[in-house]
């Protein structure tokens, strides 16, 4: 099974993906994380992607599809995987179909209000060591600096600045939002209310996923 997480920046795909990774045992594949790591390591890919990401624009379909092709071929993806931030364009959705079209698929589309996105991204911090995601809204000042998971330094993403967030939302509406129509027509597409506490969103998503995994299992058995 493949789980595709859809939704605008700040809708909680990464946080939900981390939790689903724990509950399903499927690896979470975040193209954004892979690209950020390449930027940190200063690889050729990282050098190509850095300026594009800093502006909030999209890295080329060929590059990200190459990353996904390589990643889903690894043995830990045999049972299933979770895609967070891919596909983001129609061309990527079609490429994924060519790469791994036979797999059962559930698309979970997170729905959040625009003001929730802005508030979440302003408070988002990411661990520079292990990439865990946190939100500092409501946290005491002395809890803001360190990762709860590994003690690494919490950092604000460069592309979470207000101007870049605006551009990322524009790109989302133009290039990625149309994917909802594509998946509604050809796959199991379910919307999830992404408002509120991450644990509540996880519970809602898990309930939907349990139903869909059971239905996929029944279809296979028939
Ligand atoms: P994310 O962590 O998913 O918000 O991604 C951060 C940035 O990485 C995006 O704003 C894009 O510049 C780039 N990126 C991540 N995934 C993709 C993708 N599937 N297609 C194109 N660019 C991507």
Domain span at residue 53 reads 2-112+191-221
Residue 155 lies in a domain: no
Residue 140: predicted pLDDT? 66
The DSSP symbol for 27 reads: P
Catalytic residue among 28, 36, 88, 120: 88
Q: Whose CA is nearest to atom 11 of ligand 1?
A: 58
What mean pLDDT value characterizes the chain?
93
pTM exceeds 0.75, yes or no = yes
Phi, psi of 187 (to 5 degrees): -145, 180
**CA of residue 217 to ligand 1 center, whole Å:** 32
pLDDT digits (tens, 9 = 90+) for 70-81: 999 999 999 999
Can you give the pLDDT at residue 214?
87
Task: Flag whether 29 is in a domain.
Answer: yes
Residue pLDDT, tens place only, 140-149: 666 678 888 9
pLDDT at 79 (0 to 100): 95
How far apart are the C-alpha atoms of 125 and 147, rounded to whole Å?
9
Catalytic residue at 220? no
* 171: in domain: no
Residue spans of the chain under pLDDT 50: none
Look up the CATH number of the domain holding residue 18.
Answer: 3.40.50.300
Task: Answer yes or no: is 73 within a domain.
Answer: yes
Query: What is the number of domains present in the chain?
Result: 1
Looking up tokens 């797999």 gives: 103
Give me the catalytic one of 13, 36, 71, 125. 13
Between the CA of residue 199 and those of 17, 18, 24, 221, what are the distances in Å? 12, 11, 15, 32
Q: Is 124 a catalytic residue?
A: yes
In a domain, 209, yes or no: yes
Residue 158 counted as domain residue: no
Return the structure tokens found at 109.
């589309």
User: What's the pLDDT score for residue 220?
Assistant: 74
Distance, CA of 9 to CA of 12 (rounded, Å): 8
Q: Is residue 60 part of a domain?
A: yes
């Amino acid at each position: 099974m493949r789980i595709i997480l859809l939704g605008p920046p700040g809708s909680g795909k990464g946080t939900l993906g981390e939790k689903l990774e724990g509950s399903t045992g499927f690896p979470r594949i975040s193209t954004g994380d892979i690209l950020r790591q390449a930027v940190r390591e200063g690889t050729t890919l990282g050098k190509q992607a850095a300026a594009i990401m800093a502006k909030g624009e999209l890295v080329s379909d060929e590059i990200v599809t190459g990353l996904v092709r390589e990643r889903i071929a690894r043995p830990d993806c045999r049972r299933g995987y979770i895609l967070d931030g891919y596909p983001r364009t129609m061309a990527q959705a079609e490429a994924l179909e060519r790469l791994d079209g036979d797999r059962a698929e559930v698309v979970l589309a997170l729905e959040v209000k625009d003001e929730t996105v802005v508030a979440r991204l302003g408070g988002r911090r990411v661990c520079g060591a292990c990439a865990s995601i946190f939100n500092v809204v409501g946290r005491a000042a002395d809890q803001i600096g360190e990762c709860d998971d590994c003690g690494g330094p919490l950092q604000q993403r460069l592309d979470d600045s207000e101007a870049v967030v605006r551009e990322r939302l524009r790109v989302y509406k133009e290039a990625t939002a149309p994917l909802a129509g594509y998946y509604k027509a050809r796959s199991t597409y379910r919307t999830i209310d992404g408002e509120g506490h991450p644990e509540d969103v996880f519970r809602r998503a898990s309930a939907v996923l349990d139903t869909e995994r059971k239905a996929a299992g029944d279809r296979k058995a028939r």
